[in-house]
Amino acid sequence: MQIIDKTAQLAQAVAQAKERHQTIGLVPTMGALHEGHLSLISRARQENDLVVVSVFVNPIQFNNQEDLAKYPRTVEADCRLLEQAGADIAFVPTVEEMYPEPVATVYHFGPIEEVMEGPRRPGHFSGVAVVVRRLFDLAQPDRAYFGEKDYQQIAIVRNLLEQIKYPIELVACPIVRADDGLALSSRNARLSANARAMAPAIYQTLCQAVEMSETDDVDDVRQYVLDALESYHLVNPQPDDLKFEPEYFEIVDDTTLQPVNTWQGEHGRVGCIAVWLNGVRLIDMVRFR
């Protein structure tokens, strides 16, 4: 595996691969790699000749400076994992290398960014789009791999591809969970032991919601999830004053991402949630239909 930290060097490696008519799979990450990331990489490995994995904590997608400062950075361990996972190129640029000039581009995505993460993280999706486009320009992938854990991000990248008309196949990969159901996330490392023990209740509540959806209305299921998490610490007393603070739970059309009030419709239904626990913002999603 090649470890590359310069954009020109990546462009050169990509040009050589293109000369050999090799297909390229790109997996963008912010590092602190776990099995969720590795599932994307193993899928990319199966489907492409050259697998490029970027490890870059993208400052312009953080609307919260504390979150950026505390984001786990484990580049050496990441490179070891990437080598084992069969990546061909680990691209680990500095911020200056990725953004030699201040970033002036702003992307707009219409209704799909006006829900869920969008209003709560101003500038986030534009920052994601800027880095993803930069990575697309450098790696020129045939396929790009993204996780459904960041469900809205997939819709944003799909929309970006329509805007810039790049012939890249977006491959959406299912969420990888810990044995107790918690969606794997780099931010889980920041949970205290007690908070980590409490966190699986998020997915358990989502699973109960899926069961309820057989018999109950959308609004009732939505309210149930919020109430169950908000009152969790009252029903199950916790050490350290731990409690869930849901930021949102929305049941939306799986394609338009707009909130729905019926289970039936042209498209499927997904439930997306953001919850604060122990000073860490966790997100998750489930599919209803």
CB of 218 to ligand AMP, least distance (A): 25
Position 63, amino acid: N
Question: The tokens of 251 are what?
Answer: 């049941």
Beta bridge partners of 285: 272
- 183: contact with ligand AMP by CB under 6 A: yes
- 171: contact with ligand AMP by CB under 6 A: no
Contact between 89 and 4 (Cβ < 8 Å): yes
- 275: contact with ligand AMP by CB under 6 A: no
Give the range of 114-122, 142-150, 163-171, 278-286 binding ligand AMP by CB under 6 A: 142-150
Q: Which is nearer to ligand AMP, 171 or 197 (CB)?
A: 171
Q: Which is nearer to ligand AMP, 118 or 147 (CB)?
A: 147
Quote the crossing angle between the two packed helices 151-164 and 124-139, to the nearest 10°.
Answer: 60
- 149: contact with ligand AMP by CB under 6 A: yes
Given candidates 132, 138, 173, 201, which one binds ligand AMP under the rule CB under 6 A? 173
- 135: contact with ligand AMP by CB under 6 A: no
Give the range of 36-44, 191-199, 208-216, 280-288 binding ligand AMP by CB under 6 A: 36-44
86: left (phi over 0), alpha (psi -120 to 50) or beta: left
- 37: contact with ligand AMP by CB under 6 A: yes
Contact between 103 and 132 (Cβ < 8 Å): no
Q: Phi, psi at residue 72, to the nearest 5°?
A: -65, 135
Classify 15 as helix, strand or coil: helix
Q: Please give the order of strands across the beta sheet that includes 280-287.
A: 245-253, 269-277, 280-287
Q: Which is nearer to ligand AMP, 150 or 254 (CB)?
A: 150
CB of 270 to ligand AMP, least distance (A): 14
Distance between CA atoms of residues 135 and 222, nearest Å:
37
- 205: contact with ligand AMP by CB under 6 A: no
Residue 37 appears among annotated catalytic residues:
yes
Q: Are strands 269-277 and 280-287 parallel, antiparallel or unpaired?
A: antiparallel
- 134: contact with ligand AMP by CB under 6 A: no
Residues of this chain that interact with ligand AMP (CB under 6 A) are 29-30, 36-37, 39-40, 146-147, 149-150, 173, 175-176, 183-186
